[in-house]
Structure formats: C-alpha cells, structure tokens
C-alpha cells in the first residue's frame, strides 16, 4: 500500500523520543523517495492521457496525488522531529554534543546544529548587559539558589565565581551555587542530592 514506508519512519521517530536518537534511516528514506518518484511518473503519464480525453483516470490520479502529499509530509515530519531533538540537546548539554548523539546525526544535521549553536551563543551574549545571559540555565524556576552536590569522580580544582577554589575530589560533598555546578551535574561529574 502507498505510504507504508513513510509511516514507518514516523513510528521510528516516535519510538526514539524517550531514549537517545537513532541513526538517520537513509535506507527507508530512499525507498520512500523511490515510491514517490514512481507515483509521480505514473501520474505524469496518466495526466497527459486524461487531458487527451480519458475521463476515467481522474480518481486514480487523485489517489496517487494524496499518497504523494502524505509521503512528503511524513518525510518532513521525520526530519523536523530529528531537528527538534537536536535543538533540545543544545539546551540540555550545551554546545558540545555527547558522543552517542553525535555519531547518530547526519552531516547536514551536524551543520545545522553548529549554526544553531552559534546563533544562540551570539544572541545570548548580546542580551543582558556586558556579560551576556545564559538562557540555558534555570529553564525551570529553581527552588533554591544553592544545591548540595556529591562528587562522583576526581575532577580537580574548580574556581567559583567569587574566585575561591573548591577541590572536587571523589566522594566529597559540597554546597554550591546552583548556576555554577549545573553543567557539571549535567556532564556527570557531580550528583545532585535531593532530600
């Protein structure tokens, strides 16, 4: 049936929504495009006949056309979904992509990511006074300014905003400014302790 392959792509996207993104499925994409080309060529042929007076072909053309449209929409949804994911990753992990995400992205997607990242960085440095404003922090309003963290690995010395130095040694516990250690928590060096 028409459009089945395209639906497969969308389903795959839906499945990967909870975990990490899977590699771009070029194989199925190509199949969908081939299907579309076949449909288009057939329509082309039939349209010329129909114009010549073959009235019965109109409904067939109509069906093929909607199948074409649907395939197109599915493909675009697939790509847009992936881009959405990439954008969210930027907000979550910062400008450096985690390795397992990076290897699953295609070249154009990577380019898009870099451009997006640059755009966002430029924008963030242009607002909020001379230091810029990091929009990726405190996406949700924080409950406290300070949080308690536990070091999971030896990270070495860490300089805080006020210039003092904290030694992040494995299994030591610290009470720190949330904004300072949020990215370290995301990167997995620290663990946020919730009571």
Partner 1 sequence: MTGGRPCAVCMYYTRRERCHWPTLKEEFFKGMCQRVLVLVAFDVDALCACKILQYLFQCDHILYTIVPVSGREDFERAFVAHSEGIRHVILVNCGATDDIIEMLQPEDNITFFVCDSHRPVDVHNIYNQVQVKLLMRPDELHDVPQFDEVFSDDDEEPEEADDVCEEPEEADDDSGNDSDTSGPVRKKKRVDEQTLEKEREKRLWREARNKRIFEYTEFSGFGTSAALLMFEIAWKMSKDTNDLLWLAILGVTSQYANRQVERDKYIEDIGQLQSHVSRLNNRSEDDSENIISVNCLKITFESELQLTMYRHWSLFESLCHSDYTFCKFKMWSMKGKKRLHEFLADMGLPLVQCRQRFAAMDMSLKETVKDMISKQTEKYSIDEQKLFLPSFHVQFGFKNKFCAMDAVLACEAMLESVSANLTPSDNFLKAGDVLNRSKTECMEKALSQAKMQLQAIVHQVQTFIDMKHQVICAGPFLYAFVTEGTPDASFFSKPTCLCHLAQFTLDAYSTMSHNKRAQNLPLVLGAPQDADLGTMLVVGVPPASDTSRKNFFGKAFEQAAITSNTQMMQDNFDSNVIMLKMDDKSKFFDALISLLQ
Nearest to partner 1 of 18, 164 (CB atom): 164
Cβ 137 vs Cβ 182: under 8 Å: yes
Residue 77 is inside which H or E element, if any? helix 58-93
**Two tokens at 191?**
């663990």
Nearest approach in angstroms of CB 153 to partner 1 is 12
Nearest to partner 1 of 12, 148 (CB atom): 148
Question: How many H-runs (helices) and E-runs (strands) does the chain carry?
Answer: 6, 5
Pairing of strands 146-151, 190-192: antiparallel
DSSP single-letter state for residue 188: T
Which residues, at least 6 apart from 138, have a Cβ–Cβ distance to it below 8 Å? 178, 179
Please give the sequence-ordered ranges of beta strands (E in DSSP) within the chain, or none if there are none: 146-151, 156-159, 165-168, 173-177, 190-192
Nearest to partner 1 of 65, 178 (CB atom): 178
Nearest to partner 1 of 23, 145 (CB atom): 145
Catalog residues that contact partner 1 under the rule CB under 8 A.
145-146, 148, 150, 157, 162, 164-167, 169-177, 195
- Cα distance between residue 90 and residue 98, in whole Å: 10
Nearest approach in angstroms of CB 148 to partner 1 is 7
Nearest approach in angstroms of CB 18 to partner 1 is 25
- Cα distance between residue 120 and residue 142, in whole Å: 22
Nearest to partner 1 of 68, 176 (CB atom): 176
Nearest approach in angstroms of CB 136 to partner 1 is 24
Nearest to partner 1 of 65, 150 (CB atom): 150
Nearest approach in angstroms of CB 172 to partner 1 is 5
Nearest approach in angstroms of CB 163 to partner 1 is 8
């Amino acid at each position: 049936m028409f459009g089945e392959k395209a639906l497969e792509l969308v389903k795959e996207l839906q499945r990967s929504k909870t975990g990490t993104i899977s590699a771009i499925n070029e194989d199925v994409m190509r199949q969908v495009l081939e299907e579309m080309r076949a449909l288009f060529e057939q329509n082309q042929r039939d349209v010329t006949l129909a114009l010549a007076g073959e009235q019965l072909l109109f409904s067939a053309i109509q069906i093929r056309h909607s199948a074409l449209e649907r395939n197109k929409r599915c493909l675009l949804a697939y790509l847009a979904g992936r881009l959405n994911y990439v954008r969210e990753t930027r907000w979550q992990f910062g400008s450096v992509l985690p390795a397992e995400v990076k290897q699953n992205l295609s070249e154009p997607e990577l380019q898009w990511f870099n451009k997006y990242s640059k755009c966002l960085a430029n924008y963030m440095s242009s607002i909020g006074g001379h230091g810029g404003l990091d929009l990726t922090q405190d996406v949700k309003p924080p409950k406290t300014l300070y949080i308690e963290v536990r070091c999971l690995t030896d990270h070495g010395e860490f300089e805080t905003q006020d210039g003092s130095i904290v030694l992040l040694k494995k299994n030591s516990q610290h009470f720190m400014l949330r904004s300072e250690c949020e990215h370290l928590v995301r990167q997995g060096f620290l663990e946020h302790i919730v009571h």
